[in-house]
Amino acid sequence: MQVAVVGGGPAGSLLGILLHRAGLDVVVLERRSVEHVRGRIRAGVLEHPSVTMLREHRLADRVDREGMRHEGVVLSDRGDPLRVDFQGLTGHGVVVYGQTELQKDLFAAIEAEGVEYLDEIEELALGDVTNRPVELRYRRGSREETLLADVVAGCDGAHGVTADAVPRGVRRTYERYYPFGWLGIMAETAPVHPELIYARHERGFALCSMRHARLSRYYLQAPLDTDLGAWPDDRFWDELRRRIPPAAAERLETGPSIEKSLTPLRSAVGEPMAYGFLALAGDAAHSVPPTGAKGLNLALADVVDLAEVLLEAKDPGPEALQAYSDRALRRVWRAVRFSWWMTTVLHRFPDDGPFAERIQDAELALLRSSVAARRAMAEQYVGILP
């Protein structure tokens, strides 16, 4: 069986490795260069099941050696911190390990094991995905090439071509755009706190995160039309101090930013995640705001589910791929709900009034007073719900 994996980020790379190890003929097609994919800065929190999966597939050596284990997070409500103890509540934590580093690990396995990975693919077009073999036409350098595949796995992100192969009359997208973005900077400074700080504040949300002991990542809620040029580093650091707990503000180490960006927030799910001999995984199928740290973890879980279906079925057809879609969507919607909840509770919405503010107060008061509420949040954050 020939499998074409479109998209060579973490999802596509992992799927290529799993299928290659199982003896399938697999080709990964990526429109960017390997150097570009290797250097992209993305999410940095791995759930407990994601780490377990990487260990099971012998891909976690550096995760275990260099990842930063976090046993909880801090929720700050107008400067008043509350720590949610993941380890104490669930027996598990999460690992902070940048997607950039995970991609390096996957590329190392691809190169060592001889997975066919073609980068700098241009003008990729899919033929009829309801008939086998599916024809994929593309250009690489000066050559026009064609690949015939029994199954196509779309791992090419929200702006890729594979999702468009599902007719509009078949695919329905449920989405919500949030009326703000995250203004983020990265700096070669020590993290302000050993664990992540999620801060709700009357001036807007803030997040204190990190990639490793000398690389910090910070975010501020900001309007979608924010001009990055109007936010020199000193202004960012001053605003961050206002929004985080006073003790954290006092010990905040500042420095020149090495990256600055504005990220819009969006929740979206496309149903179904399979059509004909095409299956979608990761951002090609769904998108979540980064508040719940779910995007990368959802993509990895999709790939594991899809690989199982492809390897269990002797001749995986539309029925088997539809079963993958049904299974994945149950998990995806739970993660989308959690990410929406985290976003709704912690951000300031420009059109909301006093009622919505009081609901946020009540949500955070419940977390503060109820062990059961904190446990429910912890289970969802570390990803241990079925």
Q: Which residues are catalytic?
A: 70, 198, 290, 294, 381
Q: How far apart are CA 80 and CA 100, in angstroms?
A: 33
Residue with tokens 């990639």: 211
Q: Do 204 and 215 touch, CB atoms closer than 8 A?
A: no
Phi, psi at residue 261, to the nearest 5°?
Answer: -155, 165
Strands 45-46 and 94-96: antiparallel
Q: How far apart, in Å, do the first and last CA atoms of the chain sit?
A: 31
Our CA angle for 130, 143, 15, nearest 5°, is: 50
Structure-derived torsion over alpha carbons of residues 285, 63, 96, 182, reported in degrees to the nearest 10: -40
Q: How far apart are CA 295 and CA 298, in angstroms?
A: 5
Q: How far apart are CA 94 and CA 87, in angstroms?
A: 9
Instruction: Name the residue among 340, 338, 337, 308 with its Cα closest to residue 324.
Output: 308
Instruction: Name the residue among 156, 150, 159, 144 with its Cα closest to residue 127.
Output: 150
Q: How far apart are CA 336 and CA 294, in angstroms?
A: 8
Q: How far apart are CA 15 and CA 31, in angstroms?
A: 17
Three-class DSSP labels, 223-247? CCCCCHHHCCHHHHHHHHHHHCCHH
CA 294 and chain centroid, separation: 5
Helix (H) or strand (E) holding 298: helix 295-312
Q: How far apart are CA 259 and CA 186, in angstroms?
A: 5
Q: How far apart are CA 246 and CA 235, in angstroms?
A: 17
Helix (H) or strand (E) holding 94: strand 94-96
Helix (H) or strand (E) holding 369: helix 354-369
82 forms beta bridges with: 75
